[in-house]
Amino acid sequence: MRAEHIEHGVDLAYQQAKKSYDEGGLPIGAVLMTEEGEVVARGHNMRVQEGSPILHGEMSCIRAAGRRTDWHTLTLFTTLSPCPMCSGTAVLHKVRRVVIAESENFQGREDWLLQAGIEVVKLRDARCIELMGRFIREKPQLWNEDIAVVEE
Amino acid sequence: MRAEHIEHGVDLAYQQAKKSYDEGGLPIGAVLMTEEGEVVARGHNMRVQEGSPILHGEMSCIRAAGRRTDWHTLTLFTTLSPCPMCSGTAVLHKVRRVVIAESENFQGREDWLLQAGIEVVKLRDARCIELMGRFIREKPQLWNEDIAVVEE
């Protein structure tokens, strides 16, 4: 995948995250792209918007991609390091590559991706870091309800 | 959790699987239950019914349970050993226990559950084994599109 495709994918994932933030939801976005840079699907976290505990950004994006058999050719972009649910879903579908725009606000299960033979590209996208950090400061309860859930 | 609650949970999960089979879908069902045996939610695979690649039985059930903070008190019943997506989702939500009615037709990521400190109960429910096996024989293409996906 060419560098310009990766840059484009991160841009689109950030736009999805921003859209969700503007809707009052969790600012995490995702994009699925072919090796040639064609956008297959996009999505963002819908926990607030649909009241759903399974619709993280990556899950919304994969839902939008529909039933298909070419997952192993696709790259999944996500604005935030993927949680156990989303990492497990990438492993299930055996996506080719996961591009992670930032992992400073949360560290997911990138180890599961690597163990499954999925290529992992880690970036430090300043826009994604800033937006996620702002949300966590503004709405800590919503953040704690989700991947940052605190054990008793 | 008392033995009668476990038996009841498996019964209900099987009924969900059978309902999906009768609808032409994948016969995998799931139930969420409190330690006292109260049924919180139920669901079945919706790949065919909703055309969704994320709605395995366990995911439909967790979606039906909605946003909540008591996951760590709940037991997830599933008719089939949970795939990477569903195992990852159980790890994300830190459910207390996963009861697996059968793992003969498919072996999922029970190791991820155990590593996350989730209690795992493995059964060999003859009804679930028979129904899943029948479906795999009858509709191998549909099965291969999902968790049994063949790598190139």
- Give me the total of CB pairs closer than 8 Å, taking one residue from chain A and one from chain B: 95
pLDDT in tens, B73-116: 999 999 999 999 999 999 999 999 999 999 999 999 999 999 99
Sign of CA dihedral B30, B35, B37, B41: negative
CA distances from A108 to A82, B65, B70, B80, B104 (A): 5, 24, 21, 26, 30
Structure confidence at residue B148 (pLDDT) = 62
A61 interfacial to chain B (CB closer than 8 Å): no
A86 interfacial to chain B (CB closer than 8 Å): yes
Interface probe, candidates A92, A110, A145, chain B, greatest B C-beta count within 10 A = A92
| Count of Cβ atoms closer than 10 Å to residue B29 Cβ | 31
Structure confidence at residue A152 (pLDDT) = 38
Interface probe, candidates B61, B63, B85, chain A, greatest A C-beta count within 10 A = B85
Mapped onto helix, strand or coil, the DSSP state of residue A21 is helix
Low-confidence ranges of chain A (pLDDT < 50): 150-152
For residue A38, what are the contacts with CB-CB under 8 A and spacing of at least 6?
none
Tell me the pLDDT band of B127, cut-offs 50, 70 and 90: very high
CB contact under 8 A, B65 and A71: no
Structure confidence at residue B150 (pLDDT) = 46
